[in-house]
Amino acid sequence: MDPGRGAAWIRMKADDLIDERQIKALVAACLETRYPERNRLVVLLASDAGLTPSEIAWLPREAVLTDRGVLGDHIDLLGKPGRRLRARKIPIAVRGRLWNAINSVLTNAPGTPPDPLIISERALDGGGATRDPGSATLERMRPTSITYVFYKLCKIADLPETAAATLARRRFISETARRSRSVPGANLRDVLAMTGQRSLDRLQRLVEADFEAQTRIVGDLLDPARS
């Protein structure tokens, strides 16, 4: 597959995507929920990192932490289960809105590195389950519960119920693909590597995706100054 021609493959209809205005509406709607910080992170993991509900539900804290135990500059999905999407690393803009949302959850709902980043209401309720990190395993949300969070937020924000996690992920794919054309040294291989698409396996065997180029793409898309 020719990287130049790949742009046509990834192009999506306008009505199959949600835009930045709708993402901000979903984030604002989180303030009207019982767990605004967690729900904001759910939205941004899909829209700003392209994660699926299953990946959001699985994501452990250690996937966003450095070896020193502090929040890093990428999400490590190299150990994720499932074979539909490729394991991968996704850069995140330091001090950008996704990075800040992750940091807020890590700060306000303490846990150990193996604990899930997105935890269930039982774990969050009153903070009881996070007062003594490591004393009990924090319960992760189910993928269906992640999808339901989007459904509830769409209702609060008065958005079509179709503005779900899948479309937030598609927005990430579409926007990074569009911006990659103007980022020096980047191409569609880097975008598709970040999204875990398996259909480009043959291409990736020929040319290794450039993680530094991926970082520049996401840095341009999610510059903290634009948040």
Share of the chain above pLDDT 70, in %: 72
Residue of higher predicted confidence among 6 and 64: 64
CATH of the domain at 43: 1.10.443.10
140-173 tens-digit pLDDT: 999 999 999 999 999 999 988 766 788 888 888 7
What is the model's pTM? 0.78
Which is nearest to 38 in space by CA: 107, 110, 101?
A: 101
Closest CA to 44 of 54, 57, 35, 56: 56
Domain coverage including residue 126: 3-226
Count of structural domains within the chain: 1
Q: What pLDDT sits at residue 85?
A: 73
Higher-pLDDT residue of 155 and 131 is 155
pLDDT in tens, 69-88: 999 999 999 878 766 677 78
At 120, the pLDDT band (50, 70, 90 cuts) reads confident
Backbone angles phi, psi at 71, to 5 degrees: -65, 130
Smallest Cα–Cα separation from 56: which of 48, 108, 12?
A: 48
